[in-house]
Structure 1
Amino acid sequence: MSHAILRYRPKGAPPEWEAVADGVRMLVATVADHVPYPLTTVLRVVAMLAVNAERAGVPRDPAVWLEQPTITRYVLTDTGLKGGTSQTYSALLSRVREALVWVERGEPARPHLRADRSRAEPYSTSDLTRLDVWASNLPPVPTGRGNARAMLALGGGCGLFPAEMLAVRGTDVHVLPSDAVVVRVPGTNRLVVCRSLWEQALAELARRAGPRYLYAPDRQVERPKNAISNWVARNRPGDPKVPVPDMRRLRATWIVSLLRDHVPTDLIAKAAGLKSAAALAPYLAWVPEISREAAVRLLRGWA
């Protein structure tokens, strides 16, 4: 273990530091050679995660510190983290978790290709309102108003990918006794519950479509090339205040709305068809910081 790790102590170390110090040092020593971040940064972030976990009563175990719920609690409750920083810290801790698993198996860490981790910007509430008005003013035909409604309901309400939206038929949509509307995503084992804002529109689209597709119901090809982009180009809003409808932005809006409502990240990831909750980290840039009062309520639980 390097002297830098042995000597490490966070600035203004809180009282909880001594309880977690040995675990932090051992964890960082184990993964330091397998994560692409400066040693001092890894030490600082892991230390803050461990202190946060100690305050929350999480077991004093590095493997538990690196579980996704513990990481998510940390980035949501640390009031010192801003949007971009929380995203970076989430990504770093995900890499630390992955490196620990691989080292414990006695295998070398997997190589990672650099990729663009940017995500489409979600729509604001006013943007969604304008898009809803735009959709309502389109011709009342399936390939006019119907297509727009399908995009909003399946993108903004269910977070589907464009190809998934094209594959959904009316028979894939079901209304539960609770009035919740769910979609069985074709080609997957996912069952997505539509957000309440769009559930009535989705149920009505499904009723009208029956066994046909919700988007462009009368087409014969399941996933025609450029079916969405060509339609948007022909029907894009004329008012510059109305944003152009975009399935990527609608999906981002759906994910961010769930994060803002504090839906468990593992549940969001499963519904979104993501491999793990770590993939949600980039979207935290659009999630407001939680208030201290709300943090206390969430961490305390029912009394």
Structure 2
Amino acid sequence: MTRVRENYVPKGMTAARWAPIADVTRDVVKRCEDASAYEASQLMIVVARYFDHQTHITGLPLDPTVLLRRDIIVAYGNHLNATTAMTDATIGTYRSRLLRVADANIGHLQPSARMPGFRGADGSTPYSDNEVQVLRAWVDYQASDANRVDFNLLLALCVGAGLRNGEALRINASHVSVDDEGVLVEVAGDKPRTVPVLAEWESVIADIARAAWKPDMFLFRPTRKVRTSKVLSDMLHKAPNKPFPVNVQRLRATWIVTHLSAQTPVQALMDAAGIETLGALGRFYDYVPPMEARTARSALTMRARTEGCRASHSGRPLRPVDDE
């Protein structure tokens, strides 16, 4: 096994790309050999391709504590599912081997987690918390400052404020206000409204608005000449090193499901989302964790008391009492 590991060279990979990752690849596979049923060659093939993609394509650091995180591995599986002709079984095999290597190397650093299956995602499917973290890491490792600003702002406007494609493009510095309770975004267009930004995304939007040269300057690519929504779709299509497909609909769905999961009042959410009918929220409820019975009862009784709908039992019995 030692000879296989030390002499291994990936087919189709140039020496310039293999050399920087060779030692780390051999090291993590070595730690896994005694605890794994996989042969060294099986592990080397998968880990080498994975490390090459994550460091040379995605731009993540060559650090096993980062690359062998389960959420990063899951995102890689989603990337293969979306961009290659591999079968689900083959992708599952790749992922199983990577997870085995991860357990042997950094298993003590992360809890076990159920791995999701592979399937297509429509515009109602939110990104998971892990996927959002992967997107944030992808933004941080963009090669240019301009890309880092653009993609970070995109996440803040869509995951942090639930804006649609055209709405995000029309936001300018004068539409952003900051008060003691946080950051607000004024949305113009067909569905004008005011949207409070989720706390973790406030600083991104506020900082870019403060840096604008003039109030009517667009936040997103302020010097652009094209003002149609095609700008955003083209940018995402051409975005380098995406860990998986990214689209604005799913980013907005993530914001909606975040609020539904946090039990934000439905009417407040509809107003902030620019949604006019309750039915428009229905497709998102499949992704909301079920509420515990005790929590549900507490919420329902508190609402009933607030609205004065609960009958007063003062002065009369709750059930019939037999005459003596």
Which TM-score applies when normalising by structure 2? 0.52
* Aligned Cα root-mean-square deviation (Å): 1.9
Does the residue aligned with 1:301 lie in a helix, a strand or coil?
helix
Matched, 1:150 2:153: yes
Highest relative contact order (Cα 8 Å, sep 6+), 1 or 2? 1
The total of aligned residue pairs comes to 180
Divergent runs of 4+, >6 A: none
* Equivalent of 1:175 in 167, 175, 178: 178
Which residue in 2 is equivalent to 1:233? Answer: 237
Distance 2:141 2:240 in 1: 12
2:219 alignment partner AA: L
For the 8 Å contact 1:236–1:245, the answer to whether it is kept is no
CA deviation after TM superposition for structure 1 residue 140, in Å:
4.6
CA deviation after TM superposition for structure 1 residue 139, in Å:
3.9
1:123 alignment partner AA: Y
In structure 2, relative to structure 1, the CA distance for the partners of 1:221 and 1:230 (3 Å cut) is closer
* Equivalent of 2:227 in 222, 235, 260: 222
* Equivalent of 1:134 in 138, 163, 173: 138
1:200 alignment partner AA: S
Does the residue aligned with 1:217 lie in a helix, a strand or coil?
coil
Does the residue aligned with 1:123 lie in a helix, a strand or coil?
coil
**Identical columns (%):** 29
In structure 2, relative to structure 1, the CA distance for the partners of 1:200 and 1:229 (3 Å cut) is same
Distance 2:284 2:152 in 1: 25
Distance 2:187 2:155 in 1: 16
Which residue in 2 is equivalent to 1:61? Answer: none
Does the residue aligned with 2:211 lie in a helix, a strand or coil?
helix
Distance 2:141 2:179 in 1: 30
For the 8 Å contact 1:157–1:198, the answer to whether it is kept is yes
Larger Rg: 2
1:244 alignment partner AA: P
Distance 2:254 2:244 in 1: 13
2:270 alignment partner AA: A
Distance 1:258 1:236 in 2: 30
Which residue in 1 is equivalent to 2:269? Answer: 268
2:291 alignment partner AA: I
Cα shift readout 1:255-294 (whole Å, capped 9, x = no counterpart): 0011011111111111111112221011000011110121
Which residue in 2 is equivalent to 1:196? Answer: 199
1:174 alignment partner AA: S
Which residue in 2 is equivalent to 1:294? Answer: 295
Distance 1:206 1:245 in 2: 24
Q: How does 1:245-264 map to 2 (within 5 A)?
A: 245-264=246-265
For the 8 Å contact 1:268–1:277, the answer to whether it is kept is no
Distance 1:198 1:282 in 2: 25
Which TM-score applies when normalising by structure 1? 0.56
Which residue in 2 is equivalent to 1:62? Answer: none
Which residue in 2 is equivalent to 1:244? Answer: 245
Cα shift readout 1:70-123 (whole Å, capped 9, x = no counterpart): xxxxxxxxxxxxxxxxxxxxxxxxxxxxxxxxxxxxxxxxxxxxxxxx643100
Q: How does 1:1-303 map to 2 (within 5 A)?
A: 119-142=123-146, 144-178=147-181, 180-187=182-189, 188-209=191-212, 210-211=214-215, 212-223=217-228, 226-238=230-242, 242-301=243-302
For the 8 Å contact 1:266–1:276, the answer to whether it is kept is no
CA deviation after TM superposition for structure 1 residue 226, in Å:
1.9
